[in-house]
Amino acid sequence: MSHLPTDVAGADAVGSAAASPGAQVLRFLDRAVTKVTEAVAAMLVLAEVVVLGSSTAARYLFDSPFTWSDELATLLFIWLAVLGSVVALRRGEHMRLTAFIRDMAPHRRAWLDAVAMMLVAAVLLSLVLPAYEHFETLNEGLSPVLQISEGYRGAAIITGVVLMLITAVQNLARIANWKQMLVALLLVGAATAVLEYFGPTIEDMGNSNLVLFFVVFVVGSMVIGMPIAFAFLLGTVGFVAFATTIPVSIVPGRMDEGMSHLILLAVPLFVLLGALIEMAGLARAMIALLVAMIGHLRGGLQYVLLGAMYLVSGISGAKAADMAAVAPALFPEMLKRGNKEGNLTSLLSASAVMSETIPPSIVLITVGSVTGVSIAALFTGGLFPAVVGMVALCVVVFLQTRGEDVSHAPRYGWAQRFRLLLVALPGLGLPVVIRTAVVEGVATATEVSTIGIVYTVLIGLLFYRQFDWRRVYPILVETASLSGAILLVVGAATAMAWALTQSGFSQDLVQLMAAVPGGRIGFLLVSALAFVILGSVLEGVPAIVLFGPLLFPIAGMMGVNPVHYAMLAVFAMGFGLFTPPFGVGFYLACAIGRVSPDVAIRSVWPHLAALFVALLLITLIPWISTGFL
């Protein structure tokens, strides 16, 4: 994630205007909308926990399931997704590709930021009327169980589009001065006029127009820093509006469909769980136990980091939460032992790749939602590929730390270790509780997150006694923001994938991939390379939503087990996500480790080489992914 930069000239302009009564009123209204939106989004997160948690308890404990719970949860979820997207846009937390503009001179980047935000506003403006038409269509029907108007779902989309449009205009006024805004407006207006004029010609181009809309527009807008979700929407809306006779109202409908899959409700709930385990002390207790057991060995703390990432990943499901929970607890002592900060950050980055397939990975949940592969099978199949990655990294750690001085490392007696084991047991029990609940059928992959949340809150209150109630509301807001950023990408990618399918691109892709030399092995190797590239550019969630429905059927035709293919895809995308210079995950690890990317990039290659070997093993040996199914 990256935040919106603030242009000095734009900030000065806003600051000088702030003295006028009109500006003060606008700022008051802006703060009011922000507070109300964040409050409602936070309450929706809490409401989802209550609805799904009570439904699970009613079904399992009292054998009296709520027939309306899934329908209500889905309705609340679409509102959470769109309002979370609004919050994310206000905070500048939507996913962006910053590799090309990160080192650009501030005054030049300000111009690109203005164009990018103007494009965001233009896309949202073009969706206002289609979103209203989508609302009118839904408003004519009733929900199956609750028998309330389906218009409530459509109202979420139109509300989100309007609020994001207002936010985009406000962000534009904040980051750009009037000259930059005027030039950006003229550029966007001129491009729209050209597309309108040449619309019939573009439509007659056939599938060649895909290059214009889904390569030039999408890739070009991402390169200048436009958030990925809006870049997808730019290409999709442009394609539908200027290259087809299909009404643009189909786009909000496809976004609604993509964002409201009930299985995706696991995303905000596991994001919330990841934040709670850090606050409740579970992660700290597990790390302390690992330090006591092997921290005194050469490379001991590096092994602790790898083990902690494996354990924490199995709980939080979010890479940022994983690294933020582990790094601050270990890095200070590791630096005292003479480890170089660049090497530590590269190991942290590599450990995040290693743990990509550990359940309940958000990417695994997304794979299941868009491809129909069993979530329980994905959760089971993801454990051993991560072990392969961890062993590969352990070899690198062993070779790099043979000369480490551990004479001053604290040593723990068996009595101390036993005490720390007792303290860590509740935290170690959480992955067991989550996995058992899914495997034994107590709860679905979506509902099990509520069990984990209740478990974590109780352990934090009753056992560790460090549950800070003052942090709950900010955590709920942050959960809504991160979830909205992810889910808007899912919705936009769903609409884009539908447009590509309508164009006939999916059939062409099937023929191309089926013709790869080498049969099944050749297909797997090409797929791994493709997912590494996709992961470095799009990140896991948008890449899998966009290409999963296209490539998984081809894998089935080639005789590839879908769980094996899922592990290959997820591990390869993680490899791309944390590989410089384009992988944004690598820069996230640098930010958490507080190390310059220029320093860390010199140390990352041995770890990436080990992970590349692990990826080859996962690709070529299906048993690694399917042996425990």
Global pTM reads: 0.77
For residue 142, the cross-strand partners are 149
Closest CA to 5 of 138, 133, 106: 106
Kindly state whether residues 203 and 82 are assigned to the same domain: yes
Q: Answer for the pair 78, 157: CB distance below 8 angstroms, yes or no.
A: yes
pLDDT at 543: 74
Q: How confident is the model at residue 275 (pLDDT cuts 50, 70, 90)?
A: confident
The total domain count for the chain is 2
Question: How confident is the model over 388-407, as a mean pLDDT?
Answer: 85
Q: For residue 486, give every residue at least 6 positions away whose Cβ sits within 8 Å of its Cβ, in sequence order, or none.
A: 95, 267, 362, 541
Give the bridge partners for 149, in sequence order. 142
Q: What is the mean pLDDT of the chain?
A: 83
Q: Do 124 and 269 lie in a common domain?
A: no
User: Counting beta carbons within 10 angstroms of the beta carbon of residue 221, is it exposed (0 to 12), middle (13 to 18) or buried (19 or more)?
Assistant: buried
DSSP state of 4: P
Spatial contact of 607 and 346, defined as CB atoms under 8 Å apart? yes
Domain membership of residue 540 (yes or no) is no
In a domain, 485, yes or no: no
More confident of the two residues 624 and 406: 624
Distance of CA 19 to the CA centre of its chain: 40
Q: Which has the closest alpha carbon to 120: 239, 264, 261, 232?
A: 232
- Place 370 in a pLDDT band, splitting at 50, 70 and 90: confident
User: At 485, which amino acid appears?
Assistant: A
Asked whether residue 256 falls in the same domain as residue 271, the answer is no
What pLDDT score does 198 carry?
86
Residue 142 phi, psi (nearest 5): -115, 150
Residue tagged 């206002």 (tokens): 128
- Please check the confidence at residue 439 and state whether its pLDDT lies above 80: no
DSSP H helices in 224-372 = 228-243, 250-259, 266-280, 282-294, 300-316, 319-336, 341-354, 362-371
Is 13 inside a domain boundary?
yes
Spell out where 458-607 has E strands. none
Residue where a domain stops, chosen among 215, 236, 260: 260
DSSP class of 208:
G
How far is 482 from 502, CA to CA, in rounded Å? 31
The pair of three-digit structure tokens given for residue 535, joined into one six-digit string: 């992961």
| Pair (196, 270) in one structural domain | no
389 domain-assigned:
yes
Count of CB atoms within 10 A of residue 196's CB?
10
Residue type, 546: L
User: Could you report the per-residue pLDDT of 466-498, keeping only the tens digit for each?
Assistant: 888 888 999 999 989 988 887 888 788 888 878
| Domain match, 100 and 180 both | yes
CA 576 to centroid of chain Cα atoms:
14
Mean per-residue pLDDT, 534-549? 73
The reply to whether 256 and 268 lie within a common domain is no
Q: Are residues 276 and 316 in the same domain?
A: yes
Range of the domain at 168: 8-260
Same domain, yes or no: 270 and 232:
no
pLDDT 10s digits, 317-344: 556 667 766 776 677 777 777 777 788 8
Q: Is 142 helix (H, G, I), strand (E, B) or coil?
A: strand
At 149 the three-state DSSP class reads strand
Are residues 107 and 253 located together in one domain of the fold?
yes
Least confident of 36-45, 315-324, 387-396, 478-487: 315-324
* Any domain includes 580: no
pLDDT of 266 > 80? The answer is: no
Claim to verify: residue 55 and residue 97 sit in the same structural domain: yes
Residue 301 domain-assigned (yes or no): yes
Residue 593 placed within a domain: no
Under 8 Å between Cβ of 265 and 224 = no
Which percentage of the chain shows pLDDT scores above 90? 23
146 and 289 fall within a common domain: no
Query: Is residue 81 predicted with pLDDT exceeding 70?
Result: yes
- Pull the structure tokens for residue 238: 């442009």
Q: Point out the domain boundary residue: 243, 260, 277.
A: 260
Q: Would you say residue 492 lies in a domain?
A: no
Q: Are residues 278 and 256 in the same domain?
A: no
Q: What is the mean pLDDT of the segment spanning 422-447?
A: 77
Q: Which of 412, 433, 466 is the last residue of a domain?
A: 466
Contact 264, 460 (CB under 8 A): no
